[in-house]
Amino acid sequence: MTIMLENLKKLSRGTAVYGFGHILTRSIAFVLLPLYTNFLAPAELGIVTLVAAFLAMMNLFFIYGFDSAFLRFYITEKNRDEKRIILSTCYLTVLASSIIFSILIYITSPDIARLLLEDRNFAHLIKISAAILAIDALVLIPLLLLRAQEKSTQFILIKVITVVLNIGLNLLFVVWLEKGVAGVFYAQLGASLGGFLLTMPVVFPNLIVKYSAVRLKEHLAFGLPYLPTTFAVILMEIIDRFFLLQFKGAAEVGIYGAGYRLAMIMSLLIAGFRFAWHPFFLSVSQQENVKKLFARVLTYFLLICTSFYLAICFFIEDIVRFEFRGISLFNQAYWHSTSIVPIVMLAYIFFGVYAIIVVGIHLTKKTKYLPLITFCGAISNIFGNWFLIPEYGMYGAAWATVFSYAIMTVVLYIITQKLYPISYELKRVLKIFIIVLFIYIINSSFYLSVFFKICLLLGMPLLLTVFHFWLPEERTWLGKIKVISIDRLKSLFI
């Protein structure tokens, strides 16, 4: 039990470190959301959401698996000169292909705008996107180099400066210069250029005028197989926006996009966990009783995520409608977006469960099943959007996302239990969901003050006790935490 506790502490520390860095770089989605909802109409934010989806999809093709390949070969290579050849080959290849791809996008921008945004007049946004994609691709390799060299401080510093620059440029272009939708992407282009300038001192001293066709073939052979799976995952994330545009219009896409960004707070928590989880389960995979540890991780993960889920659901409307000097955090036109937040967060929880139980695939080296599982999710997402959005709009899009991640998780569970059976604590998991559902229904059925909402949340551990959820060692830990908390409270008042 001591070993398990130490392992869980190690995982939680890794989650905190990676989660903090990830939240720093992704916090721009939340910082800018009040700005966008107060200075852009729903239809305008809808266009921003659609172009952002286009950027996410095209970024995959600008990198074409070189991110995974670079880390794989650079880290394992011991010879310093060979490392420089790997870096130079990757960087020069991405440079050449990015220029070609960007020129093609620039030339065909009117047709892309008509296809994706149903209006050729948005071609200028596609042209700006072409430049953003090329620059971001060139920034990625130096950032990967910093990761490979474990220069985390420099890595995070560059990301933070880029985020701050992006926020400042958004204030300039969207608020002061009133450039509207175009201002959002002018700001992103400026931030990308800033990131490029910051990474030049990182990559250029390490480049050499030497190109290896052999290394290129190695990188392509390693990286390209990742494309189908990554493509399917990104497709699941963005295709609902285009279905919404087709069936409901840009305004609903904008409201949906605002709600989706709010729900991303759950994805940040899960992403921080995932970054720590993969190296963690590889490092402990040979330990005794490791399957019991993996089962316990799933239980604690769901306990933490569902508690966080309830807290967000309880207070999201109060946060969005918070007013300061007559100005609310969100413009009233977007208040309705909070109704999809619980649904989208549920989808992210399923994805978190998927990330945990995929351990069986990796430890048995049966990754050949992953494309099949991912495409099951992608196909179910497409059909779900097709059938649900015409009738239910953005709610249909949100539920289609839940169903697709749930299907992926169930299919993965069935496969992994045959390859690497783990006795998950399903009875305890069921108790968590029953209690969470009970608390959620109470909050949804009655108008509760903030005080009663807090009391309801704090009552969750008591309900878990009533349902005999806690194990003896957990009751001991909780008792120690209780004593420490009381002592600290006393010290504040004595």
286-331 pLDDT, tens digit per residue, is: 788 889 999 999 999 999 999 999 999 999 988 888 877 667 788 8
Instruction: Give the integer Cα–Cα distance in Å for 189 and 125.
Output: 11
**Long-range CB contacts (within 8 A, 24+) of 460-463:** 460/307, 460/310, 460/435, 460/436, 463/435, 463/438, 463/439
Whether 264 and 155 share a structural domain: no
Whether 252 and 182 share a structural domain: no
Q: How confident is the model at residue 339 (pLDDT cuts 50, 70, 90)?
A: very high
Least confident window among 102-106, 270-274, 282-286, 446-450: 282-286
- R_g over Cα of the chain: 24
Contacts for 66 with CB less than 8 Å, ≥ 6 apart: 90, 93, 94, 141, 219, 223
State the pLDDT at residue 155. Answer: 82
- C-alpha neighbours within 13 Å on the C-beta side of residue 494: 6
Q: How confident is the model at residue 104 (pLDDT cuts 50, 70, 90)?
A: very high
State the pLDDT at residue 181. Answer: 96
Residue 52 lies in a domain: no
Cα angle, residue 54 at apex, residues 48 and 60 outer, rounded to 5°: 140
Residue 150 lies in a domain: yes
Residue 168 lies in a domain: yes
Contacts for 215 with CB less than 8 Å, ≥ 6 apart: 73, 85, 86, 89
Share of the chain above pLDDT 70, in %: 91
**216-221: average pLDDT:** 83
Alpha helix positions (H), 28-178: 28-39, 42-63, 66-76, 80-107, 109-117, 123-148, 152-170
Instruction: Give the integer Cα–Cα distance in Å for 129 and 168.
Output: 19
pLDDT at residue 73 tops 80: yes
Q: Which of 223, 240, 273 is the last residue of a domain?
A: 223
Please check whether residue 384 is in contact with residue 400, taking contact to mean a CB–CB distance below 8 angstroms. yes
Whether 349 and 208 share a structural domain: no
Instruction: Give the integer Cα–Cα distance in Å for 277 and 286.
Output: 15
Element (H, E) at 324: strand 323-324
Q: Which of 384, 405, 424 is the last residue of a domain?
A: 424
Residue 155 lies in a domain: yes
Least confident window among 12-26, 233-247, 472-486: 12-26
Share of the chain above pLDDT 90, in %: 55
State the pLDDT at residue 5. Answer: 54
Q: What are phi and psi of 416, to 5 degrees?
A: -70, -30
Higher pLDDT, 474 or 83: 83
Rounded to the nearest integer, the mean pLDDT of the chain is 87
Please check whether residue 264 is in contact with residue 29, taking contact to mean a CB–CB distance below 8 angstroms. yes
Higher pLDDT, 11 or 378: 378
Beta bridge partners of 328: 323
State the pLDDT at residue 152. Answer: 74
Beta bridge partners of 323: 328
**193-215: average pLDDT:** 89
State the pLDDT at residue 493. Answer: 56
Instruction: Give the integer Cα–Cα distance in Å for 204 and 485.
Output: 52
pLDDT at residue 194 tops 70: yes
Residue 272 lies in a domain: yes
Whether 173 and 262 share a structural domain: no
Contacts for 71 with CB less than 8 Å, ≥ 6 apart: 144, 147, 148
State the pLDDT at residue 70. Answer: 83
- Look at the block and give the residue holding tokens 């109060």: 318
**471-483: average pLDDT:** 75
Residue 468 lies in a domain: no
Residue 390, SS3 per DSSP: helix
Least confident window among 132-136, 146-150, 473-477, 489-493: 489-493
Question: Of 199, 128, 119, 190, which Cα lies nearest the Cα of 157?
Answer: 199
State the pLDDT at residue 218. Answer: 84
Tokens of 394: 């953005």
State the pLDDT at residue 47. Answer: 96
State the pLDDT at residue 248. Answer: 95
User: How does strand 323-324 pair with strand 327-328?
Assistant: antiparallel
Whether 233 and 215 share a structural domain: no
The number of folded domains in the chain is 2
Q: Taking the mean position of all CA atoms in its chain, how far away is CA 424?
A: 25
pLDDT at residue 210 tops 70: yes
Instruction: Give the integer Cα–Cα distance in Å for 40 and 21.
Output: 29
Residue 461 lies in a domain: no
Residue 323, SS3 per DSSP: strand
Whether 216 and 297 share a structural domain: no
Whether 216 and 331 share a structural domain: no
State the pLDDT at residue 220. Answer: 83
**259-267: average pLDDT:** 91
Q: How confident is the model at residue 146 (pLDDT cuts 50, 70, 90)?
A: confident
pLDDT at residue 56 tops 70: yes
Whether 270 and 379 share a structural domain: yes
Whether 210 and 235 share a structural domain: no
pLDDT at residue 43 tops 70: yes
State the pLDDT at residue 18. Answer: 47
How many residues are recorded in the chain?
A: 494
State the pLDDT at residue 219. Answer: 80
Instruction: Give the integer Cα–Cα distance in Å for 307 and 345.
Output: 12
Instruction: Give the integer Cα–Cα distance in Å for 293 and 494.
Output: 41
Domain membership of residue 29 as a residue range: 1-39+225-424
Whether 134 and 240 share a structural domain: no
pLDDT at residue 190 tops 60: yes
Contacts for 414 with CB less than 8 Å, ≥ 6 apart: none
**346-362: average pLDDT:** 92
Higher pLDDT, 107 or 3: 107
Higher pLDDT, 324 or 463: 463
Please check whether residue 293 is in contact with residue 7, taking contact to mean a CB–CB distance below 8 angstroms. yes
Contacts for 311 with CB less than 8 Å, ≥ 6 apart: 457
Q: How confident is the model at residue 97 (pLDDT cuts 50, 70, 90)?
A: very high
Residue 438 lies in a domain: no
Whether 5 and 114 share a structural domain: no
Q: How confident is the model at residue 58 (pLDDT cuts 50, 70, 90)?
A: very high
Instruction: Give the integer Cα–Cα distance in Å for 52 and 31.
Output: 16
Q: Which of 401, 424, 447 is the last residue of a domain?
A: 424
Residue 354, SS3 per DSSP: helix
State the pLDDT at residue 14. Answer: 46
Question: Roughly how many angstroms between the first and final C-alpha of the chain, as a whole number?
Answer: 37
Q: How confident is the model at residue 8 (pLDDT cuts 50, 70, 90)?
A: low
Name the DSSP letter for residue 289.
T
